[in-house]
Structure 1
Amino acid sequence: MSVEQKVVRAEVQVFLNKLRTVDLGPIAYKLMHPEKGRGWTKAKTVRAIARYMAFLGLIYLYPDRPFVPTQEIDAVWHNHILDTTKYHQDCELLFGRYVHHFPYFSLRGEADEQNWQAAFAETQTIFKQHFGIAPSDKLDRSKIWLKAEEKKKEGARCSNLKDSDSKKTGNRPTVDIKAEVLAVFPEALS
């Protein structure tokens, strides 16, 4: 192993150690909630969060590459983003910057659609190369977003925090999933 490979491996290990400290229990709680979340089982939630963590690993390893998540990973990402304070803190810890979500990929014409499909295929390939498994969902954009008439019926179940309350985040509901996620999460990004 070259010196450069050892340095990269050490940097990846630092990232993995940081990733293991991120508490996604509140996100699991929301995903599992039968009325206000998605009603996912604990097993599905653990699998989705483990794959989301692997997805974050790809973003760390390839910061200049667009990655397209599966629907399952995207659902976790959306719920993480919606807890704006936590998402911002977690991004700073893991990446030293905010990781933005770009919801318009594939909507800007035929060439953009083709670029999106290519990026999704590349994401699948790189994910499998690093983790030995492919993300679970197939490419089916029709299921990613609610249809317009369904959106009108769905009120968002969130609010903003006043600036004075932004530090008061200890009252998030949570589900203890850390041990199970760590058991599923790959030990190394290689």
Structure 2
Amino acid sequence: MTGQLNWQDVKTFIHKLKSLDLGPIAFQLMDRQSGQGWSRKKTLKAIAQYLMFLCLVYLYPNHPLVPSQEIDTVWHHHILDTHKYAQDCEMLFGRFLHHFPYFGTRDEGDRQQLHLAFGETQALFYQVSSVLAIPPAQSEDSPPAPASCLLLGANKSDPIQPNACILIDANPQARPRVDFDPQEILPRFEMG
């Protein structure tokens, strides 16, 4: 953990984290038509993992953190509600958290860095969970708690795959691209 934080700061952050209203995101994740069609249990587990990921972002602001695919799916649904996401980021971190979806896709060295960063992120999940000792949710009907993420990767029959994205801070990185001329695909408008 960063040396600049004290336990009161961490407790305050966890209180803020638990105050997030992620019900609309849960609805989207469970919706079969416009979302993922996940079960309530899977949705709450994924949201709990996402909350723990946000806790890592707070504790390790300068560390390259790579979410699992499940966490990234929750993150994407949070980002889609742009107004809420911006407000939540400001409340939690005092700034907007940017999402860089190209990490691990640019070349073989980049892919290796993705897997290395993902392994380090998983290690931080376990390290932080043992220090914070946040109790897990008591039942499927109770609200998700960050400690539920402590099971992340513990079940060998439920492997976690890294996702090709990384949390960044307005750091311009090379984005893969397909070059094209917009004039070729947009209708031509004649100004008369």
1:20 aligns with: 18
Residue number in structure 1 paired with 2:161? 139
Residue 140 of structure 2 is matched in structure 1 by none
Q: CA deviation at 1:131?
A: 2.0
- Shift in CA distance, 99/109, structure 1 to aligned 2, threshold 3 Å: same
Distance 1:62 1:113, change over 3 A: same
Deviations 1:90-110 (A, max 9, x none): 000000000111101011212
**Uncovered stretches (5+) of structure 1, i.e. residues with no partner:** 143-190
Q: Distance in 2 between matches of 1:123 and 1:134?
A: 14
| Selected match of 2:102 from 79, 101, 104 | 104
Deviations 1:141-161 (A, max 9, x none): 69xxxxxxxxxxxxxxxxxxx
Give the superposed CA RMSD: 1.9
The secondary structure found in structure 2 opposite 1:114 is helix
Count of aligned pairs between the two proteins: 138
Are 1:70 and 1:135, in contact at CA under 8 Å, matched by a contact in 2? no
* TM-score normalised to structure 1 length: 0.68
Residue equivalent to 1:128: 126
Cα offset for 1:46? 0.6
Task: State the one-letter code of the partner of 2:112.
Answer: Q
Higher helix share: 1
Q: Mapping of 1:1-190 within 5 angstroms?
A: 8-131=6-129, 133-136=150-153, 137-139=159-161
SS state of the match for residue 77, structure 2?
helix
* Distance of aligned partners of 1:118 and 1:134 in 2 relative to their CA distance in 1, 3 Å threshold: farther
Letter in 1 for 2:81: D
1:127 touches 1:134 (CA, 8 Å); kept in 2? no
Query: Percent identity among equivalent residues?
Result: 51
Counterparts of 1:89 and 1:83 in 2: how far apart (Å)? 10
TM-aligned CA distance change 1:140 to 1:126, over 3 Å? closer
- 4+ long deviations beyond 6 Å: none
C-alpha distance in structure 2 between counterparts of 1:78 and 1:57, whole Å: 17
Give the 3-state SS of the residue equivalent to 1:38 in structure 2.
Answer: coil
Equivalent in the alignment of 2:187: none
Name the SS of the counterpart of 2:114 in structure 1: helix
Counterpart code for 2:117: A
| TM-score normalised by the chain length of structure 2 | 0.67
Deviations 1:5-32 (A, max 9, x none): 9x61111011111111110000000000
